Chains A and B, each alone.
Chain A
Amino acid sequence: MMLEFLLLLLVGTLAGVDLVSGPQVLLARPVVVGTLAGLVLGDPVSGVLVGGVLELYALEVLPVGSTRYPDHGPGAVAAVWLTSQLGSASAGYGILVALGVAEVGGWSLQRLRRMNGRALALATPALETGDVRIAAALQWTGLGRDALRAVMLTAGGLLAARLLFPLALAQPEAGEVLAVVVLAMGLAGAVAGAIRTAGRDWRGAVLALALAAGWLLGGRVGAFPIRWGW
């Protein structure tokens, strides 16, 4: 139990750090984080399912420069945990927790940047002397702050999921309605992101075809993900 918790914290921390500090190689994306959390819990189906739904929201986001964007990784860990405990009926609750954590995550990133700024202001006189070690110190402390931020977000998400546990257990029908809502809003986000990126030229037609093909494929294949063996 303790090892599981520590591994989940590790997955959430890797995801949080990967978003901005680096190496920025998809470890922050919900579908990857969800799958890793699912593997830790011995339930990769829930991991891919929850991560996949949260990924719809992440597809809207272009993480450019100083803009505020949500941090979906740490919350995905909590969502997968809740779903693996109570089954698919609770996924809606878990995803709702993850969306809340992602919002707090976006806010915390801005706080982190301001904290980095304060550390920079303090270090500026030494930096002006040309001391190379100052840059290393700023980089390492920045990385440490980001890791701490991600640990706190992951732990906070798991705590919120634990608090929602009794409600999710008592009201599975509400979970079903929640699932429809989060799926629909996620799809709206993914399509909005794709429209903004594709523009209104011929790529818009490609997008329309892709959306139609995906919908038909989803109906033909059945529940996402299929029950692959592992």
Chain B
Amino acid sequence: MARSSERADAAISEPRWLRWLLIAIAIALILIVVVLPLAVVVVEAAAQGWAAYQNAILESDTLAAIWLTLLVATLCVPANVIFGVAAAWAISKFRFPGKGLLLSLIDLPFSVSPVVAGLVFVLLFGAQGWFGEWLKAHEIKIIFATPGIVLATFFVTFPFVARELIPLMQQQGQDQEEAAASLGASGWQMFWRVTFPNVRWALLYGVLLCNARAMGEFGAVSVVSGHIRGLTNTLPLQVEILHNDFQTAAAFAVASLLTVLALITLGLKLWLERRHGESLARAARTH
């Protein structure tokens, strides 16, 4: 019995040596590209001991960068949740002209290089930009200041929540909303009691990805920030500055913060997929 099933296996699968070779190549690549750099971050950050690590992180410019990064994320993530839910709702539950265009526009930040995204804001709001004169006259500072960083981050992160919700909500269709409406639910009740519970895990998933990107964004932010130490540097920019200043240990210490963030995101993502993969994929199976 066992032998015959082995033979059947051989008939439909590759020879053993090929399987091992492929697995070995994959593992080697992951080691070189993912694990090794991560290990370097940890080792280099710890190279000069705990005290040096603490000093690097508690240094005032770094604290300012942490603070700015948190501020940007707290502004961008909720804004994206509101925008993402509204866009997904509109796209999946209604028919209107220009729907395809809206979908492509939501995807735009995925296809545009972040540097270009940053430049666009400089061209709009910079000193020589379209609104530069007007902003200067009213003493509003956007470029090389926090508003510009928030804008650029918002632009780069805005597909995450919407893109996570749209396929799910499209699959679910409007039957449940129609049922709720025919049972007398108001629009508000319908959203909170029917639509939201159906998408909450996908929403959390989108928030997670959005947050990771908001905190880790480099390109777009780099263009609009102006790299003013202690003022307009986010964590990724701070890492670059420290690195350019040959403060390698400090650079890696700050980088380790971003790494921890990445690991937490990864952990939560895994947990979500394992615990609620069911409801993330439910719509796909029942239809």
Tell me, yes or no, whether A binds B.
no
Q: Which residues of chain A have a CB within 8 Å of any CB of chain B?
A: none
Q: Which residues of chain B have a CB within 8 Å of any CB of chain A?
A: none
